[in-house]
Amino acid sequence: MTATREAIALPLVFLTVALFGGLRITEGVALLPPPLFALVLAVLLLGLLVRCGALAPERLVHTSRSMLANLNGLVVMLAAFLASAQAFNVATPESGAPRVLFNLVFLILLANTIAASSDRVRVLRSLLVIFGSAFIVKFIVLSALSHPAEGVVTRALQVLFEGVTLGSITQDVFHPATGYIAFGTLTLYLFGLVLLPAADTGRLRPAATYTTMLDPTRDAKKLEG
């Protein structure tokens, strides 16, 4: 990893996500801090990134690095944590039953992915699907259902979904720009995850390295000799 990526690109990307992840535009402009549950999900997500090798903390903070380099590494990890919390904040509905349901789904998906011990590529693909699906449901489906009902079909759908979810599914009606900002924020966040310093693949796959030492051809030659 280059010094430019570590000192400039990663902090800039994640701090931008942390800022715009709480941006909400209705009648005015508001910056919302991440809820407590988003912080819990962010901790689980960082643990998942470390487990799959997408994030190698020893490449950011280590005794072999200078004090300034270690300080910069701490800034990167803190910025990644805040950005993760705000990514969940922007992808989660604001209130009602959908908010509770989304939080439970996020928790189950993260726990299941951690238990599955997936590799870096699969985890990043899973996160793309998770945040992409959450964005579609929140800013397209729920947004459409939250607008004032203008027809019989729309009102019927609102009543039906509220009965199924045992609560209100309607959310605050945001300015259209909020959805575009949220899309850009989540895209930038996923791009930042790709830029994180990854662990050595050889360290993550000791079994593969061990099997290469047991060359059947070499053993057969020894037996023939």
The pLDDT of 60-73, averaged and rounded, is 93
- How far apart are alpha carbons 81 and 57 in whole angstroms? 13
The pLDDT of 158-184, averaged and rounded, is 68
| Number of structural domains the chain divides into | 1
Of the chain, the percentage scoring pLDDT greater than 70 comes to 76
- The residue ranking higher by pLDDT, 71 or 152, is 71
Other Cβ atoms within 10 Å of 152 Cβ, number: 8
CA atoms within 13 A on the CB side of 6: 18
pLDDT of 78? 97
Is 60 exceeded by the pLDDT of residue 159?
Answer: no
- How far apart are alpha carbons 168 and 30 in whole angstroms? 23
31 contacts: CB under 8 Å, gap ≥ 6: 19, 22, 23, 24
> What residues make up the domain containing 213?
3-224
- The residue ranking higher by pLDDT, 213 or 174, is 174
Asked if residue 23 lies in contact with residue 29, where contact means CB atoms within 8 angstroms, the answer is yes
Token pair recorded at residue 44: 């689980």
pTM of the model: 0.79
Q: What 8-state DSSP symbol labels residue 63?
A: T
Is 50 exceeded by the pLDDT of residue 208?
Answer: no
